[in-house]
A and B are shown apart, each in its own frame.
Chain A
């Protein structure tokens, strides 16, 4: 059972207190979007074996959303950060690169 620290309330919570809602940093395409952009927005998701950025919500806690960077293979958590960000923080990306030199880097 994963154990993640909510950056909003600073509580380290059990997975049963949390809800995962898939890939983070998806760009919204609304009115005027091309079919391809709409398809990407609605349906196309990363499924990496390794570093992944996800949206989580502290459902049975403060109720707030946050983002998590973790490894889908080892479940190592590189960090949690505010959901109010368009890309992961630089410091976090550097931290991951240091730990996983072979990592391709953040891809939107």
Chain B
């Protein structure tokens, strides 16, 4: 059983007890523990159940590569599923729950899957859920949805805060081991701006665990000195608990800093996402140990040799009293030596290699440890914890030769350099058969903006596993990098690292070599997704040759650990099954992030009110205070209506319409786009942009205009006013101001750059207040100032002057069909002008009105609305707007496209008015008209659709507009609009102008 040792543990502080709970059990650990080390210290080897078979699983690793020990942390708004126990720092009150187990970890009903495992082979889902077809939707999918998923999704809103940090540096160094620190010293000493990221809270990496000597002294001394030198450098930033998460184009990288996960009592953001632009990225990310593939290698207390060593040296925790070590390399012997050094037992070292004569094996032998060469594990015994192993010849088929009792199995299949960051942006790998590893190919790096490689790998990550060459490589890589970005490296300070030399590894991909099928079905490659050797071999047998396909078919490497432990082992088995070499089978693609990062960190501060800023008009607060019921209009918020006490929305809209038609209404039209177009060529430019002629517009006059895309489709509309000879003011739709301004600039900058035109978007410089209704003139006249009479200010004109003492530019334009003044005043005077109008208008029955009233009134007049009557496929001719298309102009945007055969097709759906036979019935929005014909495919033939549909209080009946095939030629015809409920609404085609077709009301 695992337990806390009486002494040792370089990272823990035995004077500080930490209380935590696991599945409700109250346990204690020490400050400096990870959740994993504290669980092991409490004898808790069983920590979870596997995803597919619900097999009991224990801690395998000591770092982010851990596949099994996933827990749910915290509760409520702080709940977080799928947290690795091995990277979770212990704190007082930590509350962890195991996953994938119900009703309890010890007794898990899903474990029945284990017994049924023979019927869950590779590609099980693909094979099983195919037929019958209906069963997918009604049986399989609901069941899978319930059973699938790792952990449980949080149900409450995240209580924490997250933020971004931006950094621009010369050199980003990822990995704060001895190689990373050595590289940082090189870069720091020449004055380069350096950022060093280390994912754990400890600098120096594995060197202290592996008894590395630097300059003849314990490596921890050198690490301490290096850190203090780096901390003194103003050009160097060191960040612990910050993982290099991803590398992207042109030297962009992300870092993931955990700020309060280990100290929840701290204030401030929980995670910080670093967004880094670096000239060069040096990755000194080390290596990950691989498991060995033998039967029962997933039973709790079968662990990576390096992890067992970490728990002894770093946390003073034994993973078991009696160890069996299985290996194919020398490094693992360090674990056996460490086990014996702290007074525990090693029953046997099983080395798959036949000839073993390195310094470390000999040291083990000298310590009296039994070393068996050419041997391996036939099978691990035990279910919830290892109880022993049967050993066999590695070269054989697994005949058990001897049973050995033990309570921990340490295994090492060699080390794989962590090449993720190198590969994220396209760096390629070479297979090093001697060292049984993929390592970066320096000739094929990820390329930056200048076409040179921008990621440089150093040290162990570059394939130099021993301390001495690793540090040397990191230093020389960094010096080379510094030269590339224009720094002259200083004279090198001599550095001498030493670790016991190691003999060559032997490639061992399954143990024993000729393992039977039965053993293969108990041999796990991917612990998290329960993929076994037999699954990969079956996939190969069924014809899967590509590693990418096999990955998806078997789910190998597709779990949250992204195959950190399993990829190479699985790849080797696939290669063996296909009789191919490993490099010919290739690797799967590494994608960021290296290790899962929180969604919160990706969102940063962009949540709630900060998710997207909203635009507010000068009248916004008044609207809010006066019953305004807001709706989003582009980025603006506009009042749909103003609700009075006891009134529902529909009642408010009806009241506003009738009041505006009969008395006077006030509309905040400030959101209307306003773009000034100025210059000697302004008229010529607008002639190209609008379908109408604008260059002949007289000063002081207004003209309604249409804009089309080059495809001929209607894109925006609005009134253009000519301010002086060279200046036009173009009004756009509320949602269109930025888009149309950009559109103008695009043409001016990229096509007609020699035209003398300047544009300015002045939308927010003016408040625009529409005074609308029969009493509108009386209100303005009462305010006093400029002459607003019909003679001085006729329809479709504007004048500049002062109204009520405020500088104003009233436009006699109308979107309601009523007498209407749209008065532009400086934004800062907007509220004052509004207040004056409300006050002066009181005796004339003035009331504010919202967007729905505006919509109904314009529909009563048959005025089109961009986005209702248009949808990106509608041309002006469809809306009977030929009168607004100039025939005199040679060219305008969209003119040529209007001549395309499809655009002149007479059967195009065209705008008409629609009156329901029953005046009370309003056609549902988006309804389609049919003609009774059923097409070959069984679908009803559609001959049009409704584009705007309302109940008109003015007319006391329902009105609608729609696009109908041959519409204008079918006046008076009755057509059908089927509803979703299966009813049919009978509708008569009519003129789209329902109210005042002569325009008497607006032109007074």
Contacts and interface: CB of A to CB of B under 8 A. Distances in A.
A28 interface: yes
Contacts of A55: 750
A3 B450 CA distance: 11
B602 to A, nearest CB: 14
Interface string B534-566: 000000000000000000000000000000000
A35 B899 CA distance: 10
Contact of B277 (A14, A29, A42): A14
B449 A65 contact: no
A77 B454 CA distance: 14
Given A55-B750, A74-B447, A77-B449, A1 B891 contact: no
Interface string A31-56: 11101001001100000000000010
A4 B250 CA distance: 9
A57 B750 CA distance: 10
A19 to B, nearest CB: 9
Given A1-B252, A38-B896, A74 B451 contact: yes
A76 B900 contact: no
Contact of A38 (B251, B426, B890, B897): B897
B248 interface: yes
A76 B897 contact: no
A1 B745 contact: no
A75 interface: yes
A32 to B, nearest CB: 8
A82 B26 CA distance: 68
A1 B750 CA distance: 25
B891 A2 contact: no
Contacts of A4: 449
Contact of A42 (B449, B451, B710, B750): B710
A30 B251 contact: no
A65 B900 contact: no
Contacts of A77: 250, 449-450
A63 interface: yes
A97 interface: no
B891 A31 contact: yes
B449 A76 contact: yes
Given A1-B248, A3-B250, A77-B449, A65 B896 contact: no
Contacts of B896: 29-33, 38
B487 interface: no
Contact of A84 (B277, B711, B753, B895): B753
A76 B770 CA distance: 54
Interface in A62-87: 63-65, 71, 74-77, 83-84
Contacts of A29: 896
A99 interface: yes
A50 B882 CA distance: 46
A3 B275 CA distance: 13
B900 A38 contact: yes
A66 B751 CA distance: 12
Contacts of A41: 710
Contacts of B895: 30-31
A76 B447 contact: yes
B357 interface: no
Nearest to A21: B746
Contacts of B250: 1-3, 75, 77
A41 to B, nearest CB: 8
Interface string B429-449: 000000000000000000111
Query: Of residues A15, A21, A30, which shows the largest number of chain B Cβ atoms within 10 Å of its Cβ?
Result: A30
Contacts of A71: 451
A27 to B, nearest CB: 10
A2 B249 contact: yes
B468 to A, nearest CB: 35
Interface string A1-18: 111100000000011000
Query: Of residues B710, B742, B749, B895, which shows the largest number of chain A Cβ atoms within 10 Å of its Cβ?
Result: B749
Given A1-B250, A42-B711, A65 B447 contact: no
Given A31-B891, A33-B896, A83 B749 contact: yes
Given A38-B896, A42-B897, A74-B451, A65 B277 contact: no
A63 B897 contact: no
Nearest to A99: B451
B749 A84 contact: yes
A77 B426 CA distance: 16
A108 to B, nearest CB: 15
Contacts of A31: 890-891, 895-896
Interface in B249-291: 249-252, 277
B676 to A, nearest CB: 15
A41 B450 CA distance: 32
Nearest to A55: B750
A95 B589 CA distance: 33
Interface string B744-757: 01100111010000
B450 A63 contact: no
Nearest to B425: A75
A53 to B, nearest CB: 13
Nearest to B894: A30
Nearest to A78: B451
B897 A28 contact: no
A2 B896 CA distance: 37
Contacts of B750: 55, 65, 83-84
A29 B429 CA distance: 49
Interface string B896-925: 110010000000000000000000000000
Nearest to B450: A76
Contacts of B890: 31
B746 A65 contact: yes
Given A2-B250, A3-B250, A3-B251, A75 B449 contact: yes
Interface string B732-764: 000000000010011001110100000000000
A70 B104 CA distance: 57
A63 B447 contact: no
A21 B895 CA distance: 22
A32 B889 CA distance: 13
A1 B249 contact: yes
A99 B742 CA distance: 35
Contact of B249 (A57, A75, A83): A75
Contacts of B451: 71, 74, 76, 99
A14 B711 CA distance: 31
Contacts of B742: 57
A72 to B, nearest CB: 12
Contacts of B252: 1, 3, 14
A83 B746 CA distance: 10
B447 A75 contact: yes
A42 B710 CA distance: 8
Contacts of A1: 248-250, 252
B451 to A, nearest CB: 4
A80 to B, nearest CB: 10
A65 B748 CA distance: 10
Query: Of residues B248, B249, B250, which shows the largest number of chain A Cβ atoms within 10 Å of its Cβ?
Result: B250
Contacts of A32: 896
Given A38-B900, A65-B749, A75-B249, A3 B891 contact: no
B249 A63 contact: no
A63 B749 CA distance: 10
13 contacts: A1-B248, A3-B252, A14-B252, A15-B249, A28-B710, A30-B891, A31-B895, A38-B896, A42-B710, A42-B711, A65-B745, A71-B451, A77-B450
Given A63-B745, A77-B250, 20 more contacts: A1-B250, A2-B249, A3-B249, A3-B277, A4-B449, A28-B710, A28-B751, A30-B895, A31-B891, A31-B896, A33-B896, A38-B896, A65-B750, A74-B426, A75-B250, A76-B449, A76-B451, A83-B750, A83-B753, A84-B750
Across chains A and B, which 10 residue pairs bring their CB atoms closest together, nearest first?
A: A76-B451, A3-B250, A1-B252, A84-B753, A31-B891, A30-B891, A74-B447, A65-B749, A77-B449, A83-B750
Interface of A: 1-4, 14-15, 21, 28-33, 35, 38, 41-42, 55, 57, 63-65, 71, 74-77, 83-84, 99
